[in-house]
């Protein structure tokens, strides 16, 4: 039996301030990279997590199935697996069906059944395929007992669970994979339960999010996304961020730059001093998406196909550091892991509070100053 209280605070301190590690690596030219630097970076920040959750999101993961949607699933029973497979068969063409390869690791206890399905649209699909995927994932996660889909997208996948991230990397045999972008998380849960589905990253379609901090506006954020058709199933504040960016960018058509202004808007005093056109735009964003404003201390790394984004709260109550080496962009809770994995950086900086760092395939850093 895990001693959760002891693991949350092994030194009996009055206040634990380490609070999660996040790390992202993206080759903006599209070159696929092995994950070893990410594993080393997470091991370097081991004291920021406590073994109660870790994980990775990898983009460019399945070049041989790049047009198929890869569903990564965890099951607590064979019944849950059978019901999920039946649900997927009713909605899609299943073209691949296999256990996710793992290697036993003494540091990773009691894993669920871990499975992946590769699917294609049915020939008579009558709706936007992304909407169909999102709807089916929500239905399975809400209604099928003992089943959780933890990622479902083209050419990407999430690998997560209970354990330290570097141990989970060995468990999932991630040394066998390459991708042009890697996101990673080491969890230090402070007010939510620790379980396999509750580890980061959180994902919907090709979006994935890793988060350090606490979103105190979770109740308002949850109501806003659920009023727009989403359902929060994983019992943690981070999940709502993935749904928020999907709503803002995919469904409402905002650019990523505008979406970050909705999530971490400028203070009203700053908006009042803006030129008229900017003032009207930022006022409209704050007013229209008041329910998505993220309050509390946070830093997040958001991934989607072709893009990696770093963002902190408006007054930087949680750290985020960026590094650039040629086409490779790094985002991290700390500077030391970036310098550990690449000693020849062109630039290292910390973004302003609420100012996004955005790396895009074929475009590089957007804007060029990277939020500094």
* pLDDT one-digit tens code per residue, 126-152: 568 899 999 999 999 999 999 999 999
- Active site includes 20? yes
pLDDT of residue 214: 86
Region 254-267 average pLDDT: 95
Cβ atoms of residues 148 and 198 within 8 Å: no
pLDDT of residue 14: 45
Of these residues, 8, 9, 12, 20, which one is catalytic? 20
Residue 12 backbone zone (phi > 0: left; psi -120 to 50: alpha; other: beta): left
State how far the Cα of 42 lies from the Cα of 33, in Å rounded to an integer: 16
Checking DSSP bridges between strand 307-312 and strand 357-360, what pairing results, if any?
A: antiparallel
- Lowest average pLDDT, out of 194-198, 311-315, 318-322, goes to 194-198
Residue 260 backbone zone (phi > 0: left; psi -120 to 50: alpha; other: beta): alpha
| 3.60.20.10, 1.10.260.40, 3.40.30.10, 3.40.50.2300: CATH of 4-9+22-67+153-366 | 3.60.20.10
State how far the Cα of 180 lies from the Cα of 120, in Å rounded to an integer: 23
324: pLDDT confidence band, cut at 50, 70 and 90?
A: very high
Region 223-232 average pLDDT: 93
Domain boundaries, the chain: 4-9+22-67+153-366
Give me the residue label for tokens 């059978």: 82
Cβ atoms of residues 113 and 78 within 8 Å: yes
Arithmetic mean of pLDDT over the chain: 90
Residue 146: other Cβ atoms inside 10 A: 16
Give this prediction's pTM. 0.91
Report the percent of the chain where pLDDT is more than 90: 76
């Amino acid at each position: 039996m895990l001693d959760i209280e002891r693991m949350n605070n092994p030194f009996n301190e009055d206040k634990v301030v380490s609070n999660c590690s996040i790390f992202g690596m993206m080759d903006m030219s599209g070159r696929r990279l092995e994950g070893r630097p990410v594993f080393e970076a997470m091991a370097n920040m081991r004291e920021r997590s406590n073994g109660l959750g870790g994980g990775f999101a990898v983009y460019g993961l399945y070049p041989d199935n790049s047009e198929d949607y890869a569903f990564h699933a965890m099951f607590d029973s064979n019944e849950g697996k059978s019901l999920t497979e039946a649900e997927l068969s009713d909605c899609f063409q299943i073209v691949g069906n296999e256990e996710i390869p793992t290697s036993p690791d003494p540091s990773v206890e009691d894993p669920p059944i871990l499975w992946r399905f590769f699917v294609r649209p049915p020939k008579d699909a009558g709706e936007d395929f992304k909407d169909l995927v999102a709807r089916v994932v929500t239905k399975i996660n809400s209604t099928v007992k003992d089943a959780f889909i933890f990622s479902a997208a083209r050419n990407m996948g999430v690998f997560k669970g209970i354990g330290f991230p570097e141990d989970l990397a060995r468990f999932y045999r991630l040394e066998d994979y390459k991708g042009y972008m890697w996101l990673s998380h080491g969890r230090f849960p402070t007010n939510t339960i620790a379980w396999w589905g509750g580890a980061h990253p959180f994902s919907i379609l090709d979006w994935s999010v890793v988060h350090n901090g606490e979103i105190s506006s979770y109740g308002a954020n949850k109501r806003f996304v659920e009023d727009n058709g989403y359902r929060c199933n994983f019992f943690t504040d981070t999940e709502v961020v993935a749904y928020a960016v999907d709503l803002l960018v995919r469904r409402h058509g905002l650019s990523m730059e505008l979406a970050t202004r909705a999530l971490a808007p400028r203070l009203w005093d700053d908006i009042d001093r803006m030129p008229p056109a900017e003032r009207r735009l930022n006022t409209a964003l704050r007013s229209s998406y008041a329910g998505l404003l993220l309050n509390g201390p946070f830093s997040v790394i958001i991934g989607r196909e072709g893009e990696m984004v770093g963002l902190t709260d408006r007054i930087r109550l949680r750290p985020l550091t960026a590094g650039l080496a040629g086409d490779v962009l790094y985002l991290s809770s700390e500077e030391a892991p970036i310098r550990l994995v690449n000693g020849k950086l062109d630039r290292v900086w910390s973004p302003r509070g609420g100012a996004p760092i955005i790396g895009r395939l074929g475009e590089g850093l957007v804007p060029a100053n990277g939020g500094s």
